[in-house]
Structure 1
Amino acid sequence: HMLVKGQDILLANAPISAVFREYVRHIGIGMLAMAGIIGLLSMSNVVGNVAKTVVSGLLKRNSDTQQALQRTQKDIPMPLIVSGIVVVILLFTVFFHTFFSQSILQTVLALVIVVVFSFLFSVVGISSIAFTGTEPVPGMTIFMIIVSALILGSTGMHGDVGITAILMMSAFLCTALGVAGNFMSELKVAHLLGATPRKMQQWQLVSATLAAVLSIGVLILLNQAYGFVGQGALPAPQAN
């Protein structure tokens, strides 16, 4: 039995839309979230190895390390990568605190959630792409949405501001996963062709920056031309 517009009816006689809204949707979200959790647990050893690699790369002298490597094994220096990550984290913190946060606690919690999830899930996603050719981005993103909603909701972040903040955080994670997985696929091809990873990484940063700017510009133009709400609006602006 289920309630539809205040009436208790059999599940077999319920409208398809009501069954989807009350049952199927929740089951699907749970499955996607569990896929993210299982992926993280199964790749825990890989996450630990990546963390060790990052720490060792920061402690070693970069010049000696780069000279000892072949051209096809050279990457962007780890200190430079970490510096870029710190800059992005600072920009995210300022943006979140300015437009969404109501307290320092909310900003700190959002920062911790984004950094931890981005690092852990990016490693899991890259490993998944390398071994299986697929990446569980939806499951990981939905899992982060659930965790973020529970944690930030407990601090008093509600309403449209809370929804927008959590979606922005999830978009941050989803973009990180997508870029990491895509670049992993490119590196597999580059390994076969003998390309230099450092050059690919440099141009990947350029292309990611240009794509972010251009995609925002396209969305602004679509909003001005058609709008995203109201009559005649585009129902899915990203897809369009």
Structure 2
Amino acid sequence: IRIAALVFIGGAISWWIAIPVYLSIFGNPEGLDAVTLGNQTWSQQIRYLGVGAMVVGGLWALVSLKSAIGLAFSEGLNAFKKTDGLVKKVRTELDTPMSWVIIAVGVMLVPIFIIYLREIEDVAISSLMAIVMTLAGFLFAAVAGYMAGLVGSSNNPISGVTIATILSTALLLLALMGSGAEKGPAAAILIGAVVCCAAAIAGDNMQDLKAGHLLGATPFRQQIMQMVGVISAALVLPLILDLLNTAYGFGPITPENPDALAAPQATLMASVATGVFGGGLPWNMVYIGMGIGAAIIIVDEVLKARGSDFRVPVLAVAVGLYLPFELDSAIMVGGLIAWLVSLYQKRHNNREQFEEAKEHSNRTGLLFASGLITGEALIGIALAVPVAIVGHSNLFKLIEHPMDSAVGFIVILAVCFWLYSIAVKAFKLNRE
């Protein structure tokens, strides 16, 4: 529940503190109703607190892991200098030769450079973009992989490093291209997209390699299949995204796209890039967010020095600052269910099989929750096909407003109870 609570706290800071303070200072000159005013204030101003906190969190992750990154870099150079290729004493330590990796990176730079050149139409700037992308991709992939391998994928600072990359790249391109560059925001987004993919894949691969190590797999073979997986995803994902865009659209809800998919992270990143070039980025909010991020880091370091079990990772709070509050609340509900299950487990800690039963219960609950996420995504994609064909999303609407909200609330309560029951049942069965 700790991470869920921190994300919720970030949302509470935005919606319960920052928005009221902002409106008490600047008022409501347009005479908007409370709901519209709150959403507009959050969208145009307050969510940029999360940008500042994310930038600080991403840079702090890089600084805190500088020794580990330096060690990884030196080991990579040593591996490249070796001439024994795949020859290793132990099969479970057999990695892809570093020379292969460097050659593959060089080859992949060519199509990426071509994409940049096609978008920017300037060889010098496209070359600089490729260099920046390579350096940022290497550094942040190392950070993401290390943190995901050490703690887990939930600790992967993807959003932080991506926003930091887009903001810094946009400022660099602004200096080179000027504020009137129409393609400047797209150029910054392209670099951020590559770095985001690198960080996400690094964290995912580290988890795969960790599981393979526990099972005695050969890392080299795993890495080959991971490459196959990346290529397969690259071929499929554009089709899925195009389907969803045709059916619903992305970004804020508009009269043209009343059922648009929010995509809050992508929307925020696009807003940062366009704001830098268009001059509309609320820098005061970004600076305040940086201050919030720095304060959270100080608190976390104090807790660390005192040996406290409770820690305050800055990226968790930063995510809550810029996510819509309904998402923060949903994450908190999931954390509360996990907390209630843990209370039940502690109350029935009277058998020798407690630890084994607890682990089995947690795994069962996690598997069920993961199934909900995966199933919802698959059904959402499947439903997008007829919606895209027909041209409107009311195709499957069975209940009219306002009853749809009541039915939805009842279904959510039922799913929460179901999740709790499954985890508790798994604990009972494994304990008996």
User: Which TM-score applies when normalising by structure 2?
Assistant: 0.50
- Equivalent residue for 1:141? 162
Larger radius of gyration: 2
Is it true that 1:235 corresponds to 2:260 in the alignment?
A: yes
- Equivalent residue for 1:27? 49
| CA distance in structure 2 between the partners assigned to 1:160 and 1:3 by the alignment | 34
Percent identity of equivalent pairs: 26
How many Å apart are 1:113 and its aligned residue? 1.5
- Equivalent residue for 1:189? 211
Is it true that 1:96 corresponds to 2:116 in the alignment?
A: yes
Please list every run of at least 4 consecutive aligned residues from structure 1 whose deviation after the TM superposition is greater than 4 angstroms.
3-7, 157-160, 223-230, 237-240
Matched AA of 1:116: L
Contact in 2 for aligned 1:109/1:152 (Cα 8 Å): no
Aligned equivalent of 2:140, options 121, 146, 151:
121
| CA distance in structure 2 between the partners assigned to 1:106 and 1:180 by the alignment | 27
**Residue 231 to residue 20, structure 1, CA distance change in 2 (3 Å):** closer
Contact in 1 for aligned 2:149/2:207 (Cα 8 Å): yes
The size of the alignment, in residue pairs, is 232
Contact in 1 for aligned 2:137/2:199 (Cα 8 Å): yes
Matched AA of 1:85: V
Deviation string 1:111-152 (CA, Å, 9 cap, x unpaired) is 122111100011111111122221111010000110011001
Secondary structure (helix, strand or coil) at the match of 1:68 reads coil
Deviation string 1:50-106 (CA, Å, 9 cap, x unpaired) is 11122111111134xx333311110111111111100111211121012x2243331
Gaps of 5+ in 2: 1-24, 264-376, 381-432
Gaps of 5+ in 1: 8-13
The CA RMSD measured in Å over matched residues stands at: 2.6
| CA distance in structure 2 between the partners assigned to 1:189 and 1:210 by the alignment | 21
| CA distance in structure 1 between the partners assigned to 2:170 and 2:39 by the alignment | 25
Is it true that 1:71 corresponds to 2:95 in the alignment?
A: no
Is it true that 1:200 corresponds to 2:214 in the alignment?
A: no
Secondary structure (helix, strand or coil) at the match of 2:120 reads coil
Secondary structure (helix, strand or coil) at the match of 1:208 reads helix
User: Which TM-score applies when normalising by structure 1?
Assistant: 0.86
| CA distance in structure 1 between the partners assigned to 2:131 and 2:258 by the alignment | 36
| CA distance in structure 1 between the partners assigned to 2:56 and 2:248 by the alignment | 37
**Residue 193 to residue 183, structure 1, CA distance change in 2 (3 Å):** same
Is it true that 1:109 corresponds to 2:131 in the alignment?
A: no
**Residue 237 to residue 96, structure 1, CA distance change in 2 (3 Å):** farther
Q: Which moved more, 1:16-25 or 1:135-144?
A: 16-25
- Equivalent residue for 2:26? 2
Contact in 2 for aligned 1:126/1:181 (Cα 8 Å): yes
**Residue 227 to residue 32, structure 1, CA distance change in 2 (3 Å):** closer
Matched AA of 1:155: L
| CA distance in structure 2 between the partners assigned to 1:89 and 1:155 by the alignment | 22
| CA distance in structure 2 between the partners assigned to 1:48 and 1:235 by the alignment | 43
Q: Which moved more, 1:70-79 or 1:148-157?
A: 148-157
Matched AA of 2:260: P
